[in-house]
Copies of this chain bind each other. A is one copy, B any other.
Amino acid sequence: MAKRKWTTLTEAELRLMNVLWNKGEATVGEITRALPSKLNLAYNTVLTTMRILERKGYVRHSNSEQGRAFIYRPRVGRAHATRNAVRELLRRFFERSHESLVLNILQDEELDERQRQRIRDLLDRFDREPQ
């Protein structure tokens, strides 16, 4: 009942998705080896998380010919996942107001004058090339 359809990616899940988005497709072994070695995750750890991602609809696997291992592919693009995350943030903290979020970003004291200028340029460019 009232189960979220999207289910935002967790930290560990996002790590695996990044590998998959970069590679386009990969086996569990390939993903495991592609992860930062400082994490040192076991093959089975990655496998379990891949199954969770599959249950959540983020990836699918094909019982590949010419090899024993399953091949996993993203079912949701990075842009789509990103947009979901932004929408989630908007819902939680900004009452869905994009403007409030932009204002917050501009007010962040870690944002210096040069970065603000770049954002302004970005807006101008977007004006000139409407989507």
Instruction: Chain B residues near A86: list those with CB within 8 A.
Output: 89, 93, 101, 104-105, 108
Are B99 and A89 in contact, with the CB atoms below 8 A?
no
Q: Tell me the number of copies of this protein.
A: 2
Q: Does A82 contact B (CB under 8 A)?
A: yes
15 new A-B contacts, CB < 8 A, other than A109-B131, A120-B123, are: A82-B93, A82-B94, A83-B104, A85-B93, A86-B108, A98-B105, A98-B111, A98-B115, A98-B119, A99-B122, A102-B119, A103-B122, A107-B131, A116-B126, A123-B123
Is chain A's interface secondary structure helix, strand, loop, or mixed overall? helix
Nearest-Cβ distance from residue A16 to partner chain B, whole angstroms: 13
Give the complex CA separation of A97 and B5 in angstroms: 28
